[in-house]
Chains A and B, each alone.
Chain A
Amino acid sequence: MLASSSVLANDADSFIWWQWISRNSDEIWNATVEHLQLTLLTVAIGVVLAAILSAIAIRFRFTATPILWASGLVYTVPSIALFGFLVPRLGLGYKTALVALVGYTLVILVRNMIAGIDGVPATVKEAATAMGLTPWRRFWSVELPLALPTIMAGIRIATVGTVGLVTISALVGEGGYGALINNGLSRQNFSTPIVVGAFLSIVMALVLDLLLWATQRALTPWERAGRAGRGSRRERAHRSTPASAPAPATPVGSAA
C-alpha cells in the first residue's frame, strides 16, 4: 500500500481531501449561508448607523472629528481583544459578533460618506440653489447621487473586510467559514476544512465586491460618459451667421 503522503493518494492527510468535501457538503452549505447572512446584516446595520453618524457630523461640523476619532478607535482594537471585552457582557454568539463586526465597518463608512458629500463641487451646489431647489431636494437629487461613488467605495471595502472578520467570529461560537477553519485547526493537521473555509471566504468576498461594483456602475451612468466627438462645427450649422461683416483677423494663439 502506498504511503499516505504520496501524491496519488487522496485522504485525510492530503492538502484537500475531496471525499471529505462531498461527504460534508451540507455543513459547507450551512457555513456559507451563515457567513453570508452575518456579512450582509453587519453591512446593512453599519450603513444605517454610519448614515446617522455622518448626518450628525455634517450638520454639526464640530462633531465630525470626535465621531471619526471614536470609530477609528474601535477599528484599532484587535478583534480578539474586542471579542474578549464583549463576551462577558453579551455572551457568546450572534449579538457579540454583530456588535464587533458593525463597529469595524463604521470608520470606513463614516469617513467615505462624509468625504462623498464634501466632494460635491461647490459650483454645482450653488447652481442647484440658484435654480430654486429647496435644500431637501438639493440633497436628494444632487448631492447624494454625486456622493454615491465615494460612498459605494466605502461599502465595498467594508463588505470585503467584514467577510474576512466573520471568519474570526467563529471564536465566539458563530459559524460561517470560521467554523470550518476551526474544525480543521482543532483536529491537528486536518487541512481540508481550513483550505475550504479560507478559499470560500475569498470567493465570497470577490463575488460580493463584484456585485457591488456592478451596482455602482448601474447607478452612476454619467461616470462612463467620455469626451467622444464634440461636433462643434455641427452645433453652428443651423444658425445663420451674424450681421457683422468680415472682421480683421482674430489674433491666433492669443493667451486665454
Chain B
Amino acid sequence: MSNIDGTAVVPAIRLEHVTKSYPGSDTPAVAALDLDVPSGELVALVGPSGCGKTTILKMVNRLIAPSSGRILIDGVDAATLPEHQLRRGIGYVIQQVGLFPHRSIRDNIATVPHLLGWDKQRTKARVEELCDLVGLDPSLLRRYPSALSGGQQQRVGVARALAADPPVLLMDEPYSAVDPIVRGRLQDDLIDLQHRLHKTIVLVTHDIDEAIKLADRVAIFNVGGILEQYAPPDELLRAPASEFVERFLGRDRALKRLSRLTVADLADAELQPASLNGHGPSLGAGVSLRDALDALLGSESGHLGVLDDEGNVRGVITVDVIGEHLR
C-alpha cells in the first residue's frame, strides 16, 4: 500500500454511504454512514453497545464486508484489493491481543514483515526499533506470550500492528481488558507514539473519557450506527449536538475539558502577577488544568504558582483564572 502522495485533501479513510445489515434483522447495524478520517489523526468511535462501532472498524479492513457503500483508503477503493493484501497494509489491535501462543514475541512482531518478504536484517532491526517505540524490554523477545503480563502483551500487540509501518492503525477497545493503572500508562504511550509517528488511527472504545483523552476527533454513535456528532473533543464538550450526546458525555463536561488542557496552555496575560505568590507552592508546566483545579481547591490560599519549562515562575493561577480561560 502506498502512502499518501502529497495532496493534503485526500482523507486517509473515507466511508461513503456505508451500510451493513444482517439477514433476519429489520434495522441495519450501520446505516448509510459517511465519515472521513483525516490523515495523521486519531479518531475515536464511541457509543453504547450495539451502536455498530466495532462493525464499522471491521469493515475498514474487510473482516466484515459492507452490504453497500464504499470504503476508500488513501483514495483507493478497498474492495478492489485482495483481502489479505489490504490487511497487510493496515495494523490491527484488539482487546484480547490475540498473540500467537506458539511463536516467540520476536516472531509475533515480525509476522507481517515476514509475510511481505522482508530480509532478516531489516526485520531484526525493525523489531528492535519497535521495542524501543512501544516500551518493550528487548529481553522479552525470545519469550513466549504466556510468559508476559497483560500490559506487556498489549504492547507487543501494538508493535506487531506497526511492524510493517502501515499508514493506518485500527484499534478495537485495546485497553479495556487491563487494569486502570496500566491502562493509563498505555494510553499515555499511545499519545507519545502518535506524536512521533503521525499515523492515522481509528480507535473504538466505549469509554468516553478515553476517547476525549486520546482523540483528535470523536465520532459518537447511537444504536443502529447513527452518527450523532463528529467533532474534536473540545467542540463536543462545549457544544453537544443532541441530548443523546449530552447524556453520553456525562455531567461533568466542563471538567472533562479541563483534563485536556495544561497550565502551559494558559497565556502569561491570563495569569495573575507572580508577586502574589511569594515563594509558595507551584505547579509544573505539564500539569493538567483539572489537576490544577483540584490542587487549588485543596490549597490554603487559593493561589498557586505556575512554572515554565525551565522552572521559573510565570505567574499565579487561581480558580477564576481557570474559569475565565474556559469562557
Contacts and interface: CB of A to CB of B under 8 A. Distances in A.
A226 interface: yes
A129 B61 CA distance: 10
Nearest to B184: A250
A220 B102 contact: yes
A127 B98 contact: yes
A133 B84 contact: yes
Interface of A: 121, 123-124, 126-134, 137, 142, 145-146, 220-222, 225-228, 230-232, 234-239, 242-248, 250-251, 254, 256
B144 to A, nearest CB: 4
B180 A254 contact: yes
A116 to B, nearest CB: 13
A206 to B, nearest CB: 28
A210 to B, nearest CB: 23
B96 interface: yes
Contacts of A244: 188, 262, 286-288
B285 interface: yes
B57 to A, nearest CB: 11
B101 A131 contact: no
A245 B285 contact: yes
Given A146-B101, A245-B286, 10 more contacts: A127-B97, A132-B86, A132-B88, A132-B89, A132-B115, A133-B115, A235-B140, A244-B188, A244-B286, A244-B287
Interface residues of B, number: 56
Interface string B55-95: 00000010100000000000000000000111111101010
A222 B143 CA distance: 9
Interface in B107-149: 111-112, 115, 132, 135-137, 139-140, 143-144, 146-149
A224 to B, nearest CB: 9
Closest 4 CB pairs of A and B: A127-B98, A132-B88, A245-B284, A225-B144
A121 B84 CA distance: 20
Contact of A248 (B103, B192, B286, B294): B294
A130 B61 contact: yes
22 contacts: A126-B63, A126-B98, A127-B97, A131-B88, A131-B92, A132-B85, A132-B87, A132-B89, A142-B102, A145-B102, A220-B102, A222-B146, A225-B143, A228-B147, A230-B147, A235-B135, A235-B140, A244-B286, A244-B287, A245-B287, A254-B180, A256-B180
A182 to B, nearest CB: 46
B5 interface: no
B291 interface: yes
